[in-house]
């Protein structure tokens, strides 16, 4: 949750045109506008010697250092672009107070809601496939995203690609989630702990899909399980994914690739106008070491097939737009 005091902090009140100068590297940044804020600070669009950047200014050195370390770790994940690229880290001296900040790549794109406004509902599933593929990579590297919500996601392109724009909630596995938003937090809904693990992110991923169907969100009722079922039943967009969303809600997925693979089957069934196979609601047992070795070899192939499918659906969409 976002503490009340962050909203009155000087880091959230920078004016358009205000200049930030690094204490150590002496780089200059001129503020264009605020992009958003969270528990650890505020993000601004700014002009600099490096071009247009996203500037994250915080009030706590440890929190900013933690985020910088996450961005550095992301850059070492071979073959994957998970978050924005880190440009530099510095401090800003305002009066007698020092504020830590870092500059990162500015990702230009649309919010999920903007992107889906004039798209078919299948695109929500396609973007979720991409998100789950990236979450699998993140989890394999030993991290949970934590504060997963549409506000922290962006669609760039074409070719269309979902990207993460704020890693402030990213937490090392098995620790307590350090930043969350109630609607996407399983603890708020009484569906589990706030322990950093794959199932925490997969619950949130399911709630991202639900939020796309209900942009204004909704508060918890007396019977959250029945509430979820009613919301799914009332939404034409969510109905095809009902079983998958309920499994994520109930923590039945142990790994992101499980949820991704079942989602791909559902999307294929929808595209081919077939009745999807009933999802198995049993809890999957952790794979053996031998099975894990086999999965590593086949994961690249599976991922390639997923993106081939996404590309084919995208081609059909583009052809439909030109007809």
Closest CA to 266 of 244, 234, 235, 237: 244
* CA–CA separation, 201 and 82 (whole Å): 15
Pick the catalytic residue from 147, 166, 185, 201: 147
Residue 218, C-beta contacts closer than 8 angstroms, at least 6 positions apart: 227, 231
Residue 50, C-beta contacts closer than 8 angstroms, at least 6 positions apart: 27, 87, 88, 103
* Helix ranges (DSSP H) in 76-191: 112-116, 122-140
Closest CA to 205 of 79, 112, 73, 282: 112
Contact between residue 164 and residue 83 where contact means Cβ atoms under 8 Å apart: yes
148 strand-pairing partners: none
- Is 134 a catalytic site residue? no
- Residue positions annotated with a catalytic role: 147
């Amino acid at each position: 949750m976002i503490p009340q005091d962050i909203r009155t902090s000087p880091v959230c009140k920078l004016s358009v045109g205000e200049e930030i100068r690094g204490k150590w590297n002496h780089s200059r940044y001129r503020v264009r506008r605020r992009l958003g804020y969270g528990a650890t600070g505020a993000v601004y669009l700014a002009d600099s010697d490096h071009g247009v950047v996203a500037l994250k200014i915080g009030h706590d050195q440890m929190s900013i250092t933690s985020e910088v370390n996450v961005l550095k770790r992301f850059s070492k994940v071979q073959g994957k672009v998970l978050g924005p690229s880190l440009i530099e880290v510095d401090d800003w001296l305002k009066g007698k107070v020092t504020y830590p900040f870092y500059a990162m790549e500015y990702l230009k794109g649309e919010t999920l809601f903007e992107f889906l406004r004039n798209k078919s509902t299948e695109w929500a599933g396609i973007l979720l496939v991409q998100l789950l593929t990236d979450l699998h990579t993140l989890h394999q590297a030993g991290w949970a995203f934590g504060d997963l919500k549409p506000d922290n996601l962006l669609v760039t392109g074409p070719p269309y690609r979902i990207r993460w724009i704020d890693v402030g909630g990213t937490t090392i596995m098995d620790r307590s989630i350090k930043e969350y938003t109630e609607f996407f937090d399983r603890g708020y809904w009484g569906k589990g702990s706030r322990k950093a693990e794959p199932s925490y992110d997969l619950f949130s991923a399911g709630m991202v899909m639900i939020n796309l169907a209900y942009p204004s969100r909704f508060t918890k009722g007396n019977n959250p399980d029945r509430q979820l079922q009613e919301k799914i039943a009332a939404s034409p967009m969510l109905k095809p994914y009902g079983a998958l969303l309920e499994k994520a809600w109930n923590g039945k997925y142990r790994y992101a690739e499980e949820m991704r693979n079942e989602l791909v089957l559902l999307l294929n069934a929808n595209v081919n106008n077939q009745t999807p196979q009933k999802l198995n609601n049993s809890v999957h047992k952790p794979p053996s070491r031998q099975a894990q070795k086999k999965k590593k070899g086949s994961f690249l192939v599976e991922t390639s097939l997923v993106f081939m499918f996404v590309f084919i659906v995208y081609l059909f969409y583009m052809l439909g737009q030109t007809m």
